[in-house]
Amino acid sequence: MTINDWLRLMHPILAVSVVFPLIGMVSYFALQTRQRRLAVQAKEKSKIPPVVGKEHVNLGKWLTGAVVGLTLVGVGHPIIKNIVKKAATDSPVPQGTVIFIAIMFLFTIGSLVCLYRATAPQKLWRGLFAALTTAGLWILGSQDGVFRRTYEWQVSHYYYGMIAATLMIISLAILPEIYKSKTWRKVHIALNCIALLFFIGQGITGTRDLLEIPLSWQEPFVFGCDFVNKTCG
């Protein structure tokens, strides 16, 4: 395996070693928090400690950052690979486009940091930074080199990941509101349940895509095959 193959594997490595364990922990604490809240409302004594709610929130914040970071890694490698590949040809990527892409990466990360730092009363700022972070992800994902599987969008690893990341950003933005309104709490639960389904889909589609991606030295042979008729010359 070459360095390019290892860089390509960074996305699934981080997903398996960091993101999916966090998803399991966040889901567990979410269920514990829900059960304790229902017990308190029913005026029953709960064996679940009050700290589970705080742990759920803290881990949820970590999960959002990890998902956005993983998404940036996932789109960043093919974008950079495309730029390097075209630089060796007669049609390199324009310098202005390269600068724009670099700025968008910094812009997206900066917007997420600002979203974390926005305090509870700053509804407008939280909404703005959430929108900017989401826009940054989708703009980067639309760049040349990113495989989006648009012809099979309904089972696309790219679209599943982008939607899941968007839902996590929204959940982070509305977090302060769930302490003020039951409606927002229900919205929070619904968004995260949907995100969980997309994460499960990510595990399925990601495994499938790993089977389809050849090693760098195999690319000229594999990509020369007829994928429609499933034949290789």
pLDDT band per the 50, 70, 90 thresholds, residue 201 = very high
With respect to residue 131, please indicate whether it lies within any of the assigned structural domains: yes
Which pLDDT score, from 0 to 100, does residue 233 have?
Answer: 67
Portion of the chain with pLDDT greater than 90, in percent: 71
- The model scores a pTM over 0.85: yes
Query: Contact, 67 vs 168, CB < 8 A?
Result: yes
| CA–CA separation, 154 and 174 (whole Å) | 28
- The answer, yes or no, to whether residue 227 has pLDDT greater than 80, is no
Domain span including residue 184: 3-216
With respect to residue 224, please indicate whether it lies within any of the assigned structural domains: no
State how many domains the chain has: 1
| CA–CA separation, 182 and 190 (whole Å) | 12
With respect to residue 233, please indicate whether it lies within any of the assigned structural domains: no
Which pLDDT score, from 0 to 100, does residue 156 have?
Answer: 95
With respect to residue 232, please indicate whether it lies within any of the assigned structural domains: no
